[in-house]
Amino acid sequence: MITTIFDRKGHERVGGLFPPADTPHATAELIPPDLKRKVAPRIPNVPEPEVVRHYMHLSKLNYGIDDGIYPLGSCTMKYNPKLNEDLARLPRFAVAHPLADTSHVQGSLQLLYEMERILAHIAGLAAATLQPAAGAHGELTGMFLIRRYFEDRGDSNRKYILLPDSAHGTNPASATIAGFTVREIKSGPDGMVDLAALDSVLDDTVAGIMLTVPNTLGIFEERILEITDHVHRAGGLCYFDGANLNAYIGRARPGDMGADVFHFNLHKTLSTPHGGGGPGSGPVAVAEALVPFLPVPRVVHRDGSYQFDWDYPRSIGSMHSFYGNFGVALKAYAYLLQLGDAGMRAVSENAVLNANYLQTLLKRVYPLPYDRLCKHEFVLSGKGVGNGVTTLDIAKRLLDYGFHPPTIYFPLIVHEALMIEPTETEGKETLDQFAAAMEQIAREAKENPELLHNAPVNIPVRRLDQTRAVRQPILAYPFTD
């Protein structure tokens, strides 16, 4: 049971010792009467050590990537070097004002300039913008770029964006917000885009396709060159959602596969924890034909100095105040310099190796609907474990074993989905321990399903009403006296 500090009643002890005020400013007489409290604050009298212990205890009930594996599929919750956090806090970066004269922040501008070029290089595309603040924001930026491209050509007929049913959930939302109508393409039994289904909808009303690469099943589209070729022949553009880049960074480039627009999730792939509650960054790289439409201002290197340039009349405008989330770009820049080409290849090698290792262990006990070599993640089904046990039960029981559960009930094309991404930073021992817990849960499902229906039992909170928690949050302590 979690208690609040307000529940600690009855001590009537002093929480802190302060010397009597000896400055005139601190006297109560200076406060105008109408601003004075009518009722004394309801603050519990709890001794300082108890306050400290209370909050220390609460902090230990939390679970994060520094506690253990966090195998949330589609989220890449991996360990990121603390060194990069230190670098982002260097005062000359951290306190640089966005309105500072550019002559005073040449180092920061150089970093932005170089980072755009490094990202364009990794993507195999012509140029990049660091403005978008998250993956979905990058998608929206990319969709605006595609819209502007066709407007610029006077082609107002192209109103459809094609989306495989294995796409990430933000993709259709971004396309719709940008003013397109989404057309879904069914995946084939192999979990990949069905080329015949694609061809049947390709015509001069299609603005483009949005592909999550690898898709949300963790499967790489083996016919990617044919897909992009068919879309291009029909006059459309190809958008690649690159949030899963850790599956192939340093090994393959979206531009070489036919991508015209590509977004990164720096806060998944390159040294900012995803879901860390802080800002993210979703840079977008584009092919040559889309460069004139990139957001302004752009950082340029002219006459020996770095400057902001607003003079791009065909630009879609600004997508973020100033120049995006600088600290996130800084951490990614530092990480990329540390990794180098060989390091990037090691990232994708380990991400894919870990996912396939875990998939091989777990498919012995859980159904794997799309049974093939995966990339950085894979999707099991909790259906069929037996005795009415659901995916939610499995996820809750994992909490009892001290593991954060995987993503559940997504992607929608797998019933009772358990979407697992071990990431490149976990070692074999951790993967074995996680697999052992999953195997134990599968055994419990057969022998004692009630245990699973009632899980979790070993953690401070049991099953929460998540809908009510969102719709009716209790944000203040409910005093009753």
Ligand X SMILES: Cc1ncc(COP(=O)(O)O)c(C=O)c1O
- Which residues would be at the binding site for ligand X (CB under 6 A)? 74-75, 134-136, 168, 170, 212, 241, 243-244, 265, 280, 282
Q: Which is nearer to ligand X, 135 or 382 (CB)?
A: 135
Asked if the peptide bond before residue 44 counts as cis, ω within 30 degrees of 0, the response is no
Q: Which is nearer to ligand X, 274 or 298 (CB)?
A: 274
Measured from the CB of residue 430, what is the shortest distance to ligand X in angstroms? 22
Q: Cβ of residue 352: shortest distance to ligand X, in angstroms?
A: 16
Cis check for the bond before 98: say yes or no (omega within 30 of 0).
no
**Which C-beta is closer to ligand X: that of 355 or that of 455?**
355
Question: What is the distance between the alpha carbons of residues 351 and 422, in angstroms, rounded to a whole number?
Answer: 7
Cα–Cα distance for residue pair 310/368, rounded to 1 Å: 51
**Shortest distance, position 92 Cβ to ligand X, whole Å:** 28
Closer Cβ to ligand X, 408 or 455, answer by number = 408
The residue among 77 and 87 lying less far from ligand X, judged by its C-beta, is 77
Question: Smallest gap, in angstroms, from Cβ of residue 135 to ligand X?
Answer: 2
**Smallest gap from residue 463 Cβ to ligand X (A):** 25
- Report, in Å, the least distance between residue 122 CB and ligand X: 17
Strand partners, 262: 240, 285
To ligand X, the closest distance from the beta carbon of 191 in angstroms equals 15
Nearer to ligand X by Cβ, of 241 and 393: the residue is 241
Task: Report the nearest approach of ligand X to the CB of residue 168 (Å).
Answer: 4
Tokens standing for 253? 């480039």
11: left (phi over 0), alpha (psi -120 to 50) or beta: alpha
- Residue 184 C-beta: closest distance to ligand X, Å: 16
Task: Give the residue with the Cβ less far from ligand X, 108 or 271.
Answer: 271
Distance separating alpha carbons of residues 161 and 32, to the nearest angstrom: 62
List all residues 6 or more positions away from 464 whose beta carbon is below 8 Å from its beta carbon.
none
- CA torsion sign for 396, 398, 403, 408 is negative
- In the complex, the smallest distance separating the C-beta of residue 136 from ligand X, rounded to whole angstroms, is 3
CB of 216 to ligand X, least distance (A): 7
Closest CA to 391 of 360, 364, 367: 367
260 vs 444, which CB is nearer to ligand X? 260
How far apart (Å, rounded) are the C-alpha atoms in residues 189 and 276?
A: 36
CA distance 231 to 235: 7
Indicate the residue among 212 and 391 with the shorter CB distance to ligand X: 212
Question: Which residue lies nearest ligand X, judged by its C-beta?
Answer: 135
Which C-beta is closer to ligand X: that of 75 or that of 431? 75
Q: Which is nearer to ligand X, 175 or 445 (CB)?
A: 175
> Is 227:193 a contact under the CB 8 Å cutoff?
yes
Half-sphere exposure (Cβ direction) of 158: Cα atoms closer than 13 Å: 27
Q: Give just the sign of the alpha carbon dihedral 465, 389, 170, 349.
A: positive
